[in-house]
Amino acid sequence: MGKKLKNSGLIGVGVVAGIAISLQFSAMAQKPVDPPLPLAELRQLADVFGLIKSDYVEPVEDKKLLTEAISGMVASLDPHSAYLDKKAYAELREGSQGKFVGLGIEIGQSEDGYIKIVAPIEDSPAWRAGIKPGDLISRLDNVQVKGMSLDDSIKKMRGEPNSKVSLTILRKGEPEPLTFNMTREEIHQKSVKGKLIEPGYAWLRISQFQEPTVDDMAAKIIELYQQDPNIKGLVLDLRNDPGGVLQGAIGVAAAFLPKDAPIVSTNGQLPDQKQIFYGRPEYYELRAESDALAKLPAALKKVPMVVLVNTGSASASEIVAGALQDYKRADIIGTQTFGKGSVQTIRQLTADTAVKLTTARYYTPNGRSIQAKGITPDLVVDENADGDGLNALRTREADLSKHLSNDREAEGEKSKRDELEEQVRILALEKNRKPLEYGSGEDFQLQQALNHLKGLPVQLAKPATTVVSTDTGLPKDLAKK
């Protein structure tokens, strides 16, 4: 079983774009096809192919038509199934390893249509060049980014090692745009950060679950306990964590739970999708010769804990939060998570192409399905003292067209991002707000988590109120204020 698991990786990526996914690498399924092929429909497909070849205004390559047909067929199933061409497949594999060739910056879309710098990765080309959080990219190689999708801008910043790229930056306080000429190089992302917030209280952040995450987390925890052997409260920060390698999620949860505890289960049509994953080394270690959790201090199993989550917490991070919540090992603080509870299996087609296909749902130890619902915090706390900021406008799984249904519970409510008045209000409030640095003294949710660990009052989010419009007599939901 352990060897079989090590030949696969469940991955969640894409929080910047607002969508999280889970993946499992596998060989082509050997399940027999019971029903006969739909010959009439296949003939119709061939007829359309022939019409395009003979009648379309200009010649079209056979490969393009067939590739697009495959892509459209798979994409029609749900938001997370897709055909992966050579480039997409390579990028997916790079992401699971925590490395890629680029500039080393975390980015997001700004309300002005530019690309906003969330943070440069330490010791990356962007970090050494002086790129700062809050900077706005207006041009890439002198091409305007307004109107460019986030995915397209990422592709333009990625490239071959030692190749050049130019960024035009708009920086608050600078009268003129700044130009940075940088050289792409291989970036190694560190998914684990941690520090002592104050004597006795530690903060551990996991930004994504990658292959090295369990080892990196164990090393950071040992370091924190060396600094303070009497830690009496720990905050596990999973905000904006889009997911990652399943082994990473199992290992992180196992570090805090009883030995061999069930962490997550999956259920689908294929026998290998009906599994229970336990907190044992064979389920979380990618290197057979070591157990990263073996040297962790025994006190870690009982230290009081809070897990911080938000709308950007998805997939593998929801597995961890759900497991710790089911075992009542930690209190969950923050806002409703994304709700990504399905597994996508990678079926390799050629040496460099594959199909990503939804094959199962996953469940918490108590059998809860997270799909299109998410994890509900024990204590709902907004990102800021005056509201949840842009999180209130973010897309969740339940908002996605053709999303897979939750087979066990009622689905989560759809977000209110389409309510124009509320959107304008939030954008105006956030326009001049300083970008939040997780773990800083200005981190409101972290401060509330520390208050909870100390037994102090916690400022909870104000519930939404419903009023009646005097113009129409119809109810109108107003967001938290």
pLDDT of residue 324: 98
Predicted confidence (pLDDT) per residue in 322-338, tens digit: 999 999 999 999 999 99
The yes-or-no verdict on residue 31 having pLDDT over 60 is no
Q: Does residue 107 or residue 473 have the better pLDDT?
A: 107
Q: For residues 346 and 74, give the distance between their C-alpha atoms in angstroms, rounded to a whole number.
A: 12
The yes-or-no verdict on residue 252 having pLDDT over 50 is yes
Chain length of the chain? 481
The 8 Å CB, 24+ separation contacts for 287-291 are 288/2, 288/6, 290/215
Predicted confidence (pLDDT) per residue in 404-422, tens digit: 999 887 776 655 545 666 6
Per-residue tokens: 67: 């590739």
DSSP string, 380-434: E--SBTTB-GGGGG---GGGSTTPPPPSSSPPPPPP-TT-HHHHHHHHHHHTTPP
Q: Does residue 239 or residue 134 have the better pLDDT?
A: 239
Q: How far is CA 267 from CA 24, 76, 80, 361, in A?
A: 13, 22, 17, 6
Q: Write phi, then psi, for 298 (nearest 5 degrees).
A: -60, -30
Name the pTM for this structure.
0.79
Q: For residues 429 and 51, give the distance between their C-alpha atoms in angstroms, rounded to a whole number.
A: 54
List, by residue number, the catalytic residues.
Answer: 315, 326, 340
pLDDT of residue 440: 93
Least confident residue range of 153-162, 308-317, 380-389, 424-433: 424-433
pLDDT of residue 297: 97
Q: For residues 20 and 13, give the distance between their C-alpha atoms in angstroms, rounded to a whole number.
A: 5
Q: Are 153 and 102 in contact (CB under 8 A)?
A: no
